[in-house]
Structure 1
Amino acid sequence: MAAAAATPARAWWRTAAPASASTAAVSCFRVGAKSLTGLQMTSTRTNKVRTVHVKSGEAEGSPSTESITRDEETLQRDLQTAIQEEDYAQAAKLRDELRVLQEDSRSAVLAANARFYNAFKNGDLVAMHSTWAKGDHVYVVHPSAGRISGYDMVMQSWEMVCDADYEFPLQIDLQDVEVHVRGDLGYVTCLELVKTKGSSSWGRQVATNVFEKVDGKWFICIHHASHFDE
């Protein structure tokens, strides 16, 4: 894109109008003086719920699930059976177990989300590597850039972020956070407010982060962020 090439490189979290997806099928992801070609742009929206401030060292672990002996699908099935058989005492017990499992899973996904943003905030490439699932199915969409697929390419894109000529840690506030979990998949939607040291303005992105549970631990497998202007 000739127009993009003429624009000075800047961090994506700096305030800017989002590029139009209709102008080109390919866009360039820029951090500092480096670039990586992506594929296709999309956008997303979030609904307001609450505000979360991401701080270094926050939520270093995930809640234990060792006491949960049945998965969500089994509990849902047993609950429906108990209701059909009018065994309301058992139904109440199963409903409580299901609520505990769902709350535990949401907490664990939020903890994984915090680990991801702590790695981003601190420019910590080692921590960023540890937060991502491995495989060709993972992908990232940075603002004003295309889809970058596969673990190796995703990590290369984060290497560019962490090696950029900006002073870390960044200041990152998350707003309008929602978390949803179904079985071994969960996702978080939020509004990212990102500011570099000494800057007076915030970059605003809407983001969707998808997580998968592997061997009892949650890993991010999709990060999709797009510029947002009110």
Structure 2
Amino acid sequence: MAATAAASPARASWRSAIPATSASAAGSCFRVGARRFAGLQTTSTCPHQATRLPAAHVKSGEAEGRPSTESAAAGTPDEESLRRELETAIQEEDYARAAALRDELRVLQQDGRSAVLAANTRFYTAFKNGDLVAMHQAWAKGDHVYVVHPSAGRISGYEMVMQSWEMVCDADYEFPLQIDLQDVEVHVRGDVGYVTCLELVRTKGSSSWGKQVATNVFEKVDGKWFMCIHHASHFDE
């Protein structure tokens, strides 16, 4: 879903007006650009301040991951079982077996990192284009997921998280937006992985970039990686 009006400010800004609330309090709202949206509940407090909208144009090379080659098929060893086998081989001084297991573990970890980076790219591509269908598909389903938008409190639960993205995608910005991801790091352990990065953001027609530090957490469900946490905080040098 793309907004039709170009962003008028010289700097993309995302202002939130969210009072100190508990998880059960209502009446909070977002202001995205010049628009306000009411009805979202938050689970933490946050001061009212201006921040710049995290958008999403993932540059090639630095943050793009190739689709995972890992398989969820029965019989495919997972990381923990390989680690246990490796420890056993070392204890038994079966060094040839240990070397083979170490190589297999390294390949599995590389595949996992590539798959998490690919999921991270899918999220930012949906964000960049204001594509709500793709955004819905990028997230895990459940009450355990949450998002923290810049200068906003935590929003919990799949439905509420999606509602917040609908507000962002309906804002008065001209999509696609731009972002350059820097300092990208990915870590994977078993069925959980996370990406940390610096988001440099610019809306169309703007000459300046906004900055957010982002942490994106993913979980593997039925062999596929889905986002379960997105936390973006405004960054001032």
Q: Sequence identity of aligned pairs in percent?
A: 76
Report the counterpart of residue 54 of structure 1 in structure 2: 58
Report the counterpart of residue 115 of structure 2 in structure 1: 108
Asked whether the equivalents of residues 66 and 114 of structure 2 are also in contact (C-alpha less than 8 Å), the reply is no
What is the one-letter code of the residue matched to 1:102?
A: Q
TM-score, length of structure 1 as denominator length: 0.81
Superposed displacement of residue 15, structure 1: 6.1
- Partners of 1:15 and 1:167 lie apart in 2 by 13
Please tell me whether residue 63 in structure 1 is matched to residue 61 in structure 2: no
Residue 208 of structure 1: SS of its match in structure 2?
strand
Q: Is there any run of 5+ residues in structure 1 with no aligned partner, and where?
A: 1-9, 43-52
- Partners of 1:41 and 1:141 lie apart in 2 by 11
- Partners of 1:224 and 1:41 lie apart in 2 by 14
Please tell me whether residue 34 in structure 1 is matched to residue 41 in structure 2: no
TM-score, length of structure 2 as denominator length: 0.79
Please tell me whether residue 14 in structure 1 is matched to residue 12 in structure 2: yes
Change (3 A) 1:18 1:163: closer
- Partners of 1:86 and 1:65 lie apart in 2 by 29
Q: Equivalent residues in 2 for 1:148-167 (5 A)?
A: 148-167=155-174
Q: Equivalent residues in 2 for 1:1-230 (5 A)?
A: 14=12, 24=20, 28-32=29-33, 33-36=35-38, 37=40, 38-40=42-44, 54=58, 62-66=67-71, 69-230=76-237
Residue 173 of structure 1: SS of its match in structure 2?
strand
Deviations 1:16-62 (A, max 9, x none): 9999xxx95577532141234433258xxxxxxxxxx7159x96972
What is the one-letter code of the residue matched to 1:62?
A: P
Residue 83 of structure 1: SS of its match in structure 2?
helix
Asked whether the equivalents of residues 197 and 214 of structure 2 are also in contact (C-alpha less than 8 Å), the reply is yes
Q: RMSD between aligned alpha carbons? A: 2.9
Asked whether the equivalents of residues 65 and 117 of structure 2 are also in contact (C-alpha less than 8 Å), the reply is no
What is the one-letter code of the residue matched to 1:74?
A: S
Deviations 1:111-145 (A, max 9, x none): 00000000001111111010000001000000000
Change (3 A) 1:41 1:183: farther
Asked whether the equivalents of residues 125 and 159 of structure 1 are also in contact (C-alpha less than 8 Å), the reply is yes
- Partners of 2:166 and 2:224 lie apart in 1 by 24
Superposed displacement of residue 69, structure 1: 1.6
Deviations 1:42-98 (A, max 9, x none): 8xxxxxxxxxx7159x96972221388200000000000000111000000000000
- Partners of 1:121 and 1:184 lie apart in 2 by 27
- Partners of 1:15 and 1:203 lie apart in 2 by 8
- Partners of 2:110 and 2:165 lie apart in 1 by 31
